[in-house]
A and B are shown apart, each in its own frame.
Chain A
Amino acid sequence: LSDEASRPFAGLSDVSISEDIPVEGDISVPMGSSRRDDEFSTLDEPVKETILRDLRAVGNKFIHVLYPKRSSALLRDWDLWGPLLLCVTLALLLQGGSADSDDQGGPQFAEVFVIIWFGSIIITLNSKLLGGTISFFQSLCVLGYCIMPLTVAMAVCRIVLVGGSGPVSFGVRLVVVTASFGWSTFASTAFLADSQPANRKALVVYPVFLFYFVIGWMVLTFSPAQ
């Protein structure tokens, strides 16, 4: 019996291990995560830390939009939390106008959402079709974050409108919206235009200009209920 069993391993008996080679080590069975994953494993940390880390990342990107230098922070670690937050805030601020009672009023919540996301997707597709090197979600991230100046302008406009809606308030709002529209366009082209060859930069910048112009128009024409 032992003959039959040992035949497949017949050659093994000839193998000898010399005494000077130490054969030792440990065998550790990985419990679901290898050594490399331990550095990124966030399962054990408190929830507060997880949330704070994401919030810090989002806040960091807001700062990069405020001072648009050619840094790659926005591009490298893209996330869509910031754009979602800004989009929801802007859409909520655009509610409560005289639109609610009329049928031909300002944009509805869903319309703002659709315009922002659908517009961003179309601009991203456009820049990719023109041969841009930026990835799909990076571009969505940049376009979404650069809505921040316009959201701030919307908040300012609503505050100004509390004071009154005459020509003075309109003038103030016009200045604020124009400035923030220019800021948004400048900030996003600082990131997006670099990814295009020089002879197509204008082709990529124009849709971004149109996008922020339309959003700026929505912000400017918000009229409060009386």
Chain B
Amino acid sequence: MASANDPFQFQEFEEAASLLEADRDATTITIDDEDTKAEKQRIAAGFIPDGDDEDRLASDDKTELLSGQKKSAPFWTFEYYQQFFDIETHHVRERIIGSMVPWPRKNFIHVYLRRNPDLYGPFWICTTLVFAIAISGNISTFLGKLGKPNYKYTPEFGKVTIAATAIFSYAWLVPLALWGFLLWRNNKAMNLVTYSFMEIICVYGYSLAIYIPAVVLWILPYEWLRWCSIMVALCLSGSVLVMTFWPAVRDDHPKMIIATMSAIVVLNTLLAVGCKVYFFSKPETLIPVEHAPAAEPFIV
């Protein structure tokens, strides 16, 4: 700073304003109160805070504030990834429930993530879904062909790889594309709300959580049940995604809004229907042979 004569001499630091006048280019740090910053964001996003269920989440804010600012390490160190696992059991539980129950005013990222996106949820939900699809598909094929004389049970283990490829590419490539797209649109139309890449991955990962019970339900060989559950899961998961990304595209050109939202919903639908069609063959018709002697059962 000022005196370089005696390094051990106590220096009186002048007011920050006068220092800034002296050197305009000096770096300045403003430490905003965490709560007021979050408040500004919420008001910008059109979210009016709810009274009672903020209390539990607010206490988490205080602990985070007390523990200090997040350090950011370079991305090749272990500590960099550790910051994405800074969650507790009840956080994960709340986030999963929040992804299944879309509430009109609650934006998933603002309410549940609160600047603390995690990689635990997306990764393990995707892994569970992969194995759930493979195992349920195998069980349903087995149950469907149970009575047939020629049927030889096979575990169909190769399908795990296919399921893993499909689900992990949906959960990681689509957020990447969406993030890039939002970044590009942000240059054109100034949006108040921007989401970081990790937050988008987090939302997509948690939005897949509703499919796990749906997939387990598909074991039962009733077509109407399968289509009902897929519709319900699609609606819930799609609405969570739409409501989350609405503030980010709201200020944009209407055509862009429609294009983005429909792309999100269509990709979600494609994943769900594609998984159902590929892994869960239609249960074979129980019409006995005398009705249609020449027809082979049609297996999808």
Option from B92, B152, B153, B157 in Cβ contact (under 8 Å) with A203: B92
Q: What B residues does A131 contact at CB under 8 A?
A: 82, 85
Q: What A residues does B154 contact at CB under 8 A?
A: 98-99, 102, 104-106, 223
Q: B127 and A218: CB pair below 8 A?
A: no
A137 at the interface (CB under 8 A from B): no
Whole-angstrom distance between the alpha carbons of A223 and B127 in the complex? 25
B284 at the interface (CB under 8 A from A): no
Categorize the interface residue count of chain B.
20 to 34
Given A129-B82, A131-B85, A203-B120 contact (CB < 8 Å): yes
Given A199-B90, A200-B88, A111-B157 contact (CB < 8 Å): yes
The B140-189 residues at the A interface (CB cut-off 8 A) are: 152-159
The A183-226 residues at the B interface (CB cut-off 8 A) are: 199-203, 206-207, 210, 213-214, 217-218, 221-223, 226
Distance to closest chain A CB from B278 (angstroms): 13
B135 at the interface (CB under 8 A from A): yes
Q: B131 and A104: CB pair below 8 A?
A: no
The main secondary structure of chain B at its interface with chain A is helix
User: What is the size, in residues, of chain A's interface with B at 8 Å between Cβ atoms?
Assistant: 30
Q: Which residue of A lies closest to B158 (CB)?
A: A104
Q: B157 and A105: CB pair below 8 A?
A: yes
Q: What A residues does B159 contact at CB under 8 A?
A: 104
Interface centre among A104, A213, A221 (most CB of B within 10 A): A221
Q: A218 and B124: CB pair below 8 A?
A: no
Whole-angstrom distance between the alpha carbons of A223 and B151 in the complex? 13
The main secondary structure of chain A at its interface with chain B is helix
Given A203-B120, A217-B135, A103-B158 contact (CB < 8 Å): yes
Whole-angstrom distance between the alpha carbons of A106 and B152 in the complex? 12
Distance to closest chain B CB from A129 (angstroms): 4
Q: Which residue of A lies closest to B128 (CB)?
A: A210
B47 at the interface (CB under 8 A from A): no
B207 at the interface (CB under 8 A from A): no
Q: B89 and A203: CB pair below 8 A?
A: yes
Whole-angstrom distance between the alpha carbons of A200 and B86 in the complex? 10
Option from A105, A107, A130, A210 in Cβ contact (under 8 Å) with B131: A210
Q: Which residue of A lies closest to B138 (CB)?
A: A221
B81 at the interface (CB under 8 A from A): yes
Q: What B residues does A221 contact at CB under 8 A?
A: 138, 153, 155
- In the A-B complex, the 4 residue pairs with the smallest Cβ-Cβ separation, listed nearest first, are A221-B155, A199-B88, A129-B85, A202-B89
A-B contact pairs, 26 of them (CB 8 A): A98-B152, A98-B154, A104-B156, A104-B157, A104-B158, A104-B159, A105-B156, A105-B157, A129-B82, A129-B85, A130-B85, A130-B120, A131-B85, A199-B89, A199-B90, A200-B88, A200-B89, A203-B92, A206-B124, A213-B131, A217-B131, A218-B157, A221-B138, A221-B153, A223-B152, A226-B152
Interface of A toward B, CB cutoff 8 Å: 98-99, 102-107, 111, 126, 128-131, 199-203, 206-207, 210, 213-214, 217-218, 221-223, 226
